[in-house]
Amino acid sequence: MNTFKFSGDSRSGVWLNDIKGVFVVNPGTEVDDIKSVSGWQAVTMPATAADIAGTYISFERGVEIQTDEAEMTTGNTGYTEKTKDFAPRLNGYAKMSYQDYMAWFAADQREFDFYFHLKDNKIIHAPRTTDGKYKGFCGRMFLNFNLPVPGGEGKQQAHSFNIMLDSAEQFKNYEVVSPDFGLCEINDFCPIGFDLKVTTEWAFTVTPGTLTVKATYRGTGEPVTELAVGDFEVVSAESDASITIASIDDTNAALGSYELSITEELTGNFELRAVVIDTKVTKLSNVITVKV
């Protein structure tokens, strides 16, 4: 409801600060608390990998607002008025490694809810639900697929996230909140990312079939040495039969190399990732496709 009433003057011209980053969550996710580290960790670093519902993307490399101007129509009687509002759009240039950006490729064209985090640490969000839970603005996200740019501004804009919100109406009632955590505590919300890579392809001549993967931290390339068999998770499979990693041989774990065994003969490709949980999800890998 938007009843207009005269509402006074603050005697100040302060603007909202620039966008620093965005919290991206699964569509429709209601967050209990966006003002505390623990409130966000319940979404971004929960106790089980299946409950991960979002993360934070830093847009320190810049943001371009691309919202279309409202449509003003002049009829043939000469009367001009606004006939359409457009939902906000922006291009955010993420401060992340190319490996992080590649892990986002599968998110291209997907729908998410967005909370915008500003440089003075405020958070802008959609109107709360009737029971006080927080909601993000619903919208879509697009990524770019391009060769490495040689230098200059184009290079800084290489990891771009084109965010288009769905509804100008939802934005008309946006709310601003000041969280309890500091600007530099944002890093506490994101699990550390590492890369999994198949180094020896799946082979099943005698049971068990095996494949070897390498786990290295993104950005530094250092090996991830502490993975256990329970940390590996089959995310999806082409076949209908369930796939279980039977055992891992971590003789070469010091190099980040793990040999995985599966006792069943497989009939289709599957996708694999690894998650390290220490009361909450602390390290997350990308999702890799294992060709069978």
Partner 1 sequence: MKFGSIDFNEKKKWTFDEIKNLVEVRYKGKVKASPEKVAKALGVPVPEKKPKKDE
Binding site for partner 1 (CB under 8 A): 207-208, 228-230, 244-251, 261, 263
Q: For partner 1, which is the closer residue by CB, 173 or 251? A: 251
- Measured from the CB atom, is 188 or 249 closer to partner 1? 249
Nearer to partner 1, 188 or 250 (CB): 250
Instruction: Supply the minimum distance, in Å, between the C-beta of residue 272 and partner 1.
Output: 14
Buried b (16+ CB within 10 A) or exposed e, 223-254: bbeebeeebbeeeebeeeeebebeebebeebe
Phi-psi region of 221 (alpha: psi -120 to 50; beta: other; left: phi over 0): left
Nearest distance in Å: CB 258, partner 1: 9
C-beta contacts of 71-78 below 8 A and 24+ residues apart: none
At which residue do the structure tokens 């279309």 appear?
68
Q: Which is nearer to partner 1, 51 or 169 (CB)?
A: 51
Tokens of 112: 């998410």
Could you tell me the sign of the dihedral formed by the alpha carbons of 142, 28, 274, 60, in that order?
Answer: positive
Please report how close the Cβ of residue 263 comes to partner 1 at its closest, in angstroms.
5
- State how far the Cα of 218 lies from the Cα of 280, in Å rounded to an integer: 20
Q: How far is the CB of 182 from partner 1 (least distance, A)?
A: 39
| Of 64 and 201, CB closest to partner 1 | 201
Token pair of 145 as six digits: 């697929």
Alpha carbons 18 and 280: distance in angstroms, whole number: 31
Question: Which one-letter DSSP state was computed for residue 171?
Answer: H
The least CB distance from residue 273 to partner 1, in Å, is 16
Q: Which is nearer to partner 1, 96 or 262 (CB)?
A: 262
- Nearest distance, CB of residue 228 and partner 1, angstroms: 5
Q: Considering the complex, what minimum distance in angstroms separates the CB of residue 264 from partner 1?
A: 10
CA dist 64 → 164, 246, 278 (Å): 12, 48, 38
Contact assessment for residue 277 and residue 94, using Cβ atoms and an 8 Å cutoff: no
Alpha carbon of 228 to those of 127, 180, 213, 217, 260: distances in Å? 42, 36, 13, 16, 11
Q: Least CB distance from residue 226 to partner 1, whole Å?
A: 11
CA-CA-CA-CA torsion sign (133, 182, 279, 102): positive
If the CB atoms of residues 68 and 226 are measured against partner 1, the closer one turns out to be 226
CB closer to partner 1, 188 vs 259 = 259
